[in-house]
Each structure stands twice: as structure tokens, then as C-alpha cells.
Amino acid sequence: MEPQRGIVIRQVHVDGKTIDPSRYVWLLGSASNGVVPVEINNMKHSIPQEAVVPCPVPSPTVDALRTIDECFGKSESHFDVLHKSHENWFRIFRCRAHGRLFLEDTRGGAAIYDRLIIVEDDQEDFKAIWNRYHSMSDDWLNYLGIAL
């Protein structure tokens, strides 16, 4: 079996080390007795099966995201633009109906794409919001169910 990429979804402790959520691992085989063999930094470990999911993690649906805020994916007329960064290519919106913050984040390298992310905290430091969510992988955002 070829290794498959996985992502750790809860903190685990193994061999005196802590593996934090959102960390990528290689899945080396099938689960047995509730544990799955993984490789992290060229070292093999066994971690609880429920602590890891295979990648790519599917993106949530618009309907699922609208259970968090029914304005998700609606036209810009439903939002106020609070901040636009030309340097880091992001915008922060606030939905008029509920006051929730959204981040439109431009990502990628040779090819760029946008992700619309539901911001889970309501701070006004827009660069801190961008730093937090921009540093999260697409798989982690998909697992959290907060971005499309």
C-alpha cells in the first residue's frame, strides 16, 4: 500500500512527543485495534485512529456553511467591507444581517485562488485575523468546516 497523506485532528502524545492538530502525517497502513501506523519526520509511530483523517479533506458544502451563517456565499451587497489589504491580498467583511466576520483570502503560488472563510472570533485586528487563517492549510479549514 502506498502511503496516504493524513492530517491529525486532535492532540496526541506518542513516544514522549506531542503532535498537534493540523499536522500532516503519512498513513502507512490500515487501522488495527484502534490505532493506525503513521510516519512523522521520518519516524514511525502508532496513533489513535480517531485522531487522524485522510487527505484531501473534502470541502464543506455551501448549505453546511450556511448553518453557521445564512449569509455565507451571498452577494457583496449583504456585507460591509471593513478592510482590504493590497499587500497581502485579503479582504475582511462583516455581514449586515448577523454581524459575523468573513475573510476572503487569496492563496496559492503559481496559481492563485480565493477562499471565503468564516471568522470564528470577532477581533478587530484584521492582520491578525488574516495571519491566523492564512497559516491554516486548506485541509484544516475544510476539516473545521469554515471555508469554501
Highest mean pLDDT of the ranges 2-6, 13-17, 87-91 = 87-91
Query: Where do you find CATH 2.30.30 in the chain?
Result: 4-54
Find the mean pLDDT for residues 22-33: 93
CATH architecture of 4-54: Roll (2.30)
Do residues 37 and 44 touch, judged by C-beta distance below 8 A?
yes
4-8 and 52-54 beta bridge pairing: antiparallel
- State the pTM of this model: 0.92
Residue 1, pLDDT > 70, answer no
Determine whether 27 is exposed, middle or buried from the number of CB atoms within 10 Å of its CB (0-12, 13-18, 19+). Answer: buried
